[in-house]
Structure 1
């Protein structure tokens, strides 16, 4: 599986979260990092080159900071100019059918603010419906968004756990519990000694929480 990470951020050098994510990407021929503001400083987007990139990859990731409940303007311009009729939709527009669309968002506000009754009044999933609609329009499978809230307040241990989840979002064909466990085992075997014990503990705790939630669901479902 080949993953294309399309990043939009107007101040990449000044963004600690984006620098962290860039450094966290696995070194792999199957992952392409594509920062729009660096490639197109004058915003003159090369449609043919961008469309060729999309065709060559299986999973497309939009990675950006949440600005006024949407993306920075260059990513919107990219969508307008690249996802054209005859390529992405309409007669002959089947180029993206069967591919995946995922979102990686950095959000400056706490997660609990994005819910009914919270400070923002709406869930993040509601605010991101336009991207889900785009995926539906062009025949892509929409992945559950990967939201990073208040990176600047994360502890080192939380950042280490984030790194693992981010790498999984980029590389795993599916996000089932068994797939993530197998991925983690493979990484430990391949890079023995490079993982800190805190990382191992965090991932195990996350997996245990999911197992407990599944058991709870099954118990209630059986009543």
Structure 2
């Protein structure tokens, strides 16, 4: 995604390289997570891992193609897909935690799953509306979706303590912090090369969340 309508050629090259790396990372994550899920024999793990990995990879694919495009009309369309895919990335990341960690904690798992996916679908729809000049507002929405997990912190903490897997929670929080700090650079997008820096933080957040999800099984 981009707050400025135009970035320099050098910036776009950096954007493509950073999220191109994310695209390759996502494809690799699909293989690694599927192998782990199949070994576990847990159908919930298989399903939720597929949703997560596909949504994450889709986000990086759309971002890479958007930043690589030089055709104005095509770029405008890809920009909408790029913004919409971020909502799916967030919801996809929630999926393993809601269906694996929180599903046994009463209503928490399915309730949070429903809320986050309804928000994601609404976000995708809004991405194709005429809101192109409100990127900062969209970023606030992404952050809000990402940190909604706080309302389920107590049951999550209970699950991870009971299973002796607090490292899952640490990596989860670490990923959230990467995304949050990275948004500061997104808001500084009027300065050159701040957007690629934002991309680095996004990639860091994705890596942290991948590790957290991998450790769920």
TM-score between the two structures when normalised by the length of structure 2: 0.28
TM-score between the two structures when normalised by the length of structure 1: 0.28
Q: Which has a greater percent of strand?
A: 1
Q: Which has a greater percent of helix?
A: 2
Task: State the structure with more CA Rg.
Answer: 1
